[in-house]
Amino acid sequence: MKIELTGSLPTGGNSAPVLLCAGLPPNETDPIGPLDDWSFEKTRVVQTSQPVRAQYTTQFFRGLRNSRLTFTALRKFSTFTDAESFCLKHEESLPARGTLKLTTDAAGGGFAAITIANAELISAVCFNKGRSVLITYQFTGGQVT
C-alpha cells in the first residue's frame, strides 16, 4: 500500500505529495510500509445529553463521522547522522493537514485509490534503530472516498 499526504505546510503554502510509505519500494531510499500492524477506524460523532431528572443520558447521532488511520513505516539511511537528523526534523517537514491518498491493490488486478479528506496529522513518532527509523503515523480526518 502506498500512502501520500498533500496539504498545507506549517510554514505556509501547499506541499507536493509527501510519500509516507511505498509498500515494497522501488529503490532503497523510499519508505517501506505500512508494516505488519495498521488500523483504520471510522467512528460516529455522538452527542450525549443529560435530561433533567433522568437516571440515564440520552445519545443523539448528529450524522457526523470521523476517520482515523494509524500505520508504521520504515526508512533506511546511509549514516547514523542522517537517521538522527531525520528523526529530529521529520514532523516539521510534513503538512499539518490535507488529503491522504492510499493506493492499494484492487481485487481484479490494477490499483484502487482511496482518499481521506481533511486529514489532520495527530502524531508522527520516530523510533531510531541505528541507520533505520521506524515512524508511527496517526491521522484523523473526514470523508473517505
pLDDT at position 36, please? 66
Q: What are phi and psi of 142, to 5 degrees?
A: -105, -125
pLDDT at position 62, please? 75
Q: How many domains does the chain have?
A: 1
In this structure, what CATH number is given to the domain that contains residue 18?
2.40.30
pTM comes to 0.77
pLDDT single digits (tens) 39-50: 888 887 788 888
Residues 112 and 106 sit within 8 Å (Cβ to Cβ): yes
Annotate 102-114 with b (16+ C-beta within 10 A) or e (fewer): bbeeeeeeeeeee
Largest CA distance in the chain: 66
Mean pLDDT score, 66-86: 91
Q: Which residue has the cell 448528529?
A: 62
pLDDT at 9 over 80: no
Range of the domain at 79: 2-141
Q: How confident is the model at residue 107 (pLDDT cuts 50, 70, 90)?
A: low
